[in-house]
Amino acid sequence: MQYATYRLSAETNARLGEAGLRPLDVEAIGLRALEEDIDDGVDVTTMATVPVEQRGRLAFVARSGGVIAGQLVAAAIFDVVCGDDHTVEFFVDEGAHVDAGTEVMSVIAGTHQLLRAERPALNLLSHLSGIATATQRWVEAVKGTSARIRDTRKTTPGLRYLEKYAVRMGGGVNHRMSLADAALVKDNHVAAAGGVEQAFSAVRAKYPDVPVEVEVDTLEQLDEVLDAGADLVLLDNFTIDHLAEAVRRNGGRARLEASGGLSLDRAAAVASTGVDYLAVGALTHSAPVLDIGADLVVLE
């Protein structure tokens, strides 16, 4: 369910909801970013150099090419800082690929408010756009195959919903958002349960309606969980040859996900084996930010 928040405009609330983001979460992230930037003080530089009554236009411009994600989050931060006294304009769609030099959005408001919101907004916009850009590179690498690029739970604490949103903007698909969404039986569960088949059966018995994915390290383990009825199998650190053999043995019974040791230069080869997904933790834990600048023009 999407909950509106009084600090954000009705338009921002609606846009966030349409994008699958929760306004209260976005507002909370924005507030936290703003609080840590001011640290219970004041912006001493702006207070000393900028007339209080001055107004300006802040243009967000891509300094390098990439995929834009997070404009709505940036807009929410300006809502919090500026209230009703600002105007936001978007020049590209979320998920659009832009060239260097493209103006993606702008905000008109009091200069003090613009500079107060600038860095938190820019940090999140650049970070999310970096994830979307990295995701698109992986998606392009497996183009022509049926494989999809999927994220993991290796996300920045507190930013999972935003980072997984950015993956979607880059053309990827999301794995589970939380531990409650689906079961993923990994090596530690196998060790605790006494075997891969035992672990799978225990989850299936306790939570019969929950999708169950099982991580396997060998083809023999794959055979076990396929016979047990696994919905999805994660093939951990399999070679290309073993991935192809896993697809053959599977025969369409379960969806297969390649994970571990993946790199962009090997993505096409992995996808060509016939696996359904490539699980790429680097989308969220290692994506470099997209270089975006914020240029101020004084209006009055």
pTM for this prediction: 0.94
**Once rounded to an integer, what is the mean pLDDT over residues 47-52?**
94
Please give the span between the terminal C-alpha atoms of the chain, in angstroms, as a whole number: 42
Q: For residue 5, is pLDDT > 80?
A: no
Do residue 153 and residue 243 come from a single domain?
yes
**Once rounded to an integer, what is the mean pLDDT over residues 219-241?**
93
Q: Is 119 a catalytic residue?
A: yes
Which contiguous run of DSSP H or E holds residue 284?
helix 282-285
Which contiguous run of DSSP H or E holds residue 268?
helix 267-271
- Of the residues 186, 248, 249, 253, only one is catalytic, namely 186
Do residue 123 and residue 153 come from a single domain?
no
What pLDDT is recorded for position 4? 55
Do residues 70 and 289 lie in contact, with contact meaning Cβ atoms separated by under 8 Å? no
Q: Is 154 a catalytic residue?
A: yes
Q: What is the CATH number of the domain that holds 72?
A: 3.90.1170.20
Do residue 126 and residue 255 come from a single domain?
no
From residue 224, alpha-carbon distances to 216, 250, 265 in Å are 10, 11, 31
Domain membership flag for residue 5: no
Do residues 58 and 299 lie in contact, with contact meaning Cβ atoms separated by under 8 Å? no
Say how many domains are in the chain.
2
Do residue 103 and residue 188 come from a single domain?
no
Q: For residue 191, is pLDDT > 70?
A: yes
Do residue 29 and residue 46 come from a single domain?
yes
Q: Which domain holds residue 94?
A: 10-139+287-298
Do residue 158 and residue 130 come from a single domain?
no
Q: Give the E-state strand segments of the chain in sequence order.
A: 55-62, 66-67, 86-90, 97-98, 103-110, 148-150, 183-185, 212-216, 232-236, 255-259, 277-279, 292-298
Q: What is the CATH number of the domain that holds 149?
A: 3.20.20.70
3-state percent breakdown (helix, strand, coil) of the chain, nearest 5? 45, 20, 35
- Residue in the block written with tokens 């976005």: 26
- Of the residues 7, 55, 57, 119, only one is catalytic, namely 119
Do residue 102 and residue 212 come from a single domain?
no
- The mean pLDDT of the chain is 94
Residue 2: pLDDT band (50, 70, 90) is very low
- Of the residues 7, 22, 55, 154, only one is catalytic, namely 154
pLDDT above 70: percentage of residues in the chain:
98
Domain membership flag for residue 3: no
What pLDDT is recorded for position 190? 86
Do residue 126 and residue 150 come from a single domain?
no
Q: Is 215 a catalytic residue?
A: yes
Do residue 211 and residue 294 come from a single domain?
no
Domain membership flag for residue 4: no
